[in-house]
Structure 1
């Protein structure tokens, strides 16, 4: 039977929890950042066999979140994407694309922010 577990953690717990999951044999599935108004919800999804584990953290938009890329290099792509699309302040990435991994220079900044989406609707 497939099990899905959700854990609400703090940004201070993130690296320790990721290290624990990796030691248990879990692999990173994906990471997403959701604009929740005053805060971001960041979700790191891990797979272990048929089971799924989500590490969820909420941070104010001006807060920094530590990168997990020093533990899992594959996180570099997801973390750069979250930063580029929402402005999430991810610190300590082992490879930083400087907010130009996916978007062109003339692209709008942080297109997945609610404010950016509202601007597009008004046009």
Structure 2
């Protein structure tokens, strides 16, 4: 239970830190948000839980492929906002584009025998 609480607390600290830093500097907030902290924490928790290195390597490889479609969020959102769209519809459409990108990459990986 302690490990679960620690995971939640660390995640909350990172999210709050990014939001607070963004009030002063979007560049520094972006630098913190772009760090693969979630991935690093997942690797550490897996290691501490006794997962074999092959499972950690598999997760790292899968994350690599799914980073590509996640970039759609950071392309679509600013384009829509700069085009004058309101925030919530822009965020929704950017999220939908990202979900579609994930689906496409997962489908392609499954077809190639590399995915789930």
> Does TM, normalized by the shorter one, top 0.5?
no
Q: Which has the higher helix share?
A: 2
Where relative contact order (Cα < 8 A, 6+ residues apart) is larger, the structure is: 1
The structure that has the greater radius of gyration is: 2
The TM-score normalised by the length of structure 1 is 0.29
